[in-house]
Amino acid sequence: MEMQMNGIQPMLRSVQLIGGIINQLTAELTISLAIENSGGYHHAAFIRVELFEVGYDGSKPDSPLAVEASNYDDIPLGNSNFRLDLRIGTPFFWTTEARPCYSAIVSLKPDGGLEQYSDIQFGFDSSGSIVVTREMECVALVAAERKITVPSVFVIGDSTAFSNGRNQQGWGDVLEDYLDPAVVKVHNRARPGRSTRSYLREGLWARVLAEMKAGDYVLIQFGHNDADHLDRGRYRGVLAGIGEETLEVTMPDGTREIVHTFGWYLRRLVTECQTKHAIPVIFSLTAKNIWHYERLIRHQSEYGTWSAAVAAACDVSFIDLTQAIADRYDARGIEKVQELFCNEADNVHTSPSGAKLNAECVAAGLSQFKFSLPLGI
């Protein structure tokens, strides 16, 4: 049976009942539901069937029958079929003279929406086969809340990805201009001055985790601030390397904090992404404006090397952004590269034009994920 409401096609396109009486006290019933996911939903809170026994006068009780049913909860939605198997018991024998009638009510709750259907009514003939006496119709459809939900791309890092200083801009601020908005949505959660350690300690990562859903992407870039002091100043420095070493330090309020290596913090970010079934991507650092004769220096710290090592050990994607940016800088030359930075005394923070160049390099690296827009670079 095909259904529609006010010209709008609901997700539940058809329902089929299969089964019948197996003995005098029990019937087995399979309800087959055909789903067509035209609304772009990712998950449904539930697909539920409630079964009622209908009186001879057409009345039915407020509560459904107690049946064994394989309803679906928190399920991924695509174009697919769902089978719900029910076992029906009755307080009296099915006989030729007294065969009860039943009604099944289906509810479907996709992301943010709701679909409800009038009950399909059925009984059994003398051979024990199902006879449908009233077809199902769509009676409630929250179409206004139907929307296409695309994966998110979260950017986490420091001021090279997010900056609001004078003539400063980070690549995460403009990344959305280079990714297809019909496929992904960018959320720049990078914050100036943060290291892996302080990003976690301040709860910034916890907020990203709370927003994250399965299938999202997390672009991870740290290292510019991780070499800072461990136990003074901003208390944001981390231990060098990727091992399991720790050091306990006293914070300004007298509390104690266990400081780990750069690799340990990166692994934690990756692991917690994967726990949420998101896709982490690790980047090396943006390139500083430091030259040796006519060529930009590529190896400016060990943090890019450690980032690559963690990505390899965790079997996640690594994009060498340092190399990609350095190649672009070499092609421009020293004098033209200076305009890509916010001022002559700052060799780290980019101007708006520098942020765009870096974002182009990020998007080019992300082309493997098929959501980057074509770039004429």
pTM score of the predicted model = 0.63
pLDDT one-digit tens code per residue, 175-184: 999 998 888 9
Higher pLDDT, 65 or 235: 235
Distance CA 85, CA 250 (A): 60
Domains of the chain: 12-145 (2.60.40.10), 152-369 (3.40.50.1110)
Q: Quick one: pLDDT at residue 357?
A: 97
Q: What is the DSSP letter of 222?
A: -
pLDDT over 50 at 194, yes or no? yes
**pLDDT tens profile 336-351:** 999 999 999 999 999 9
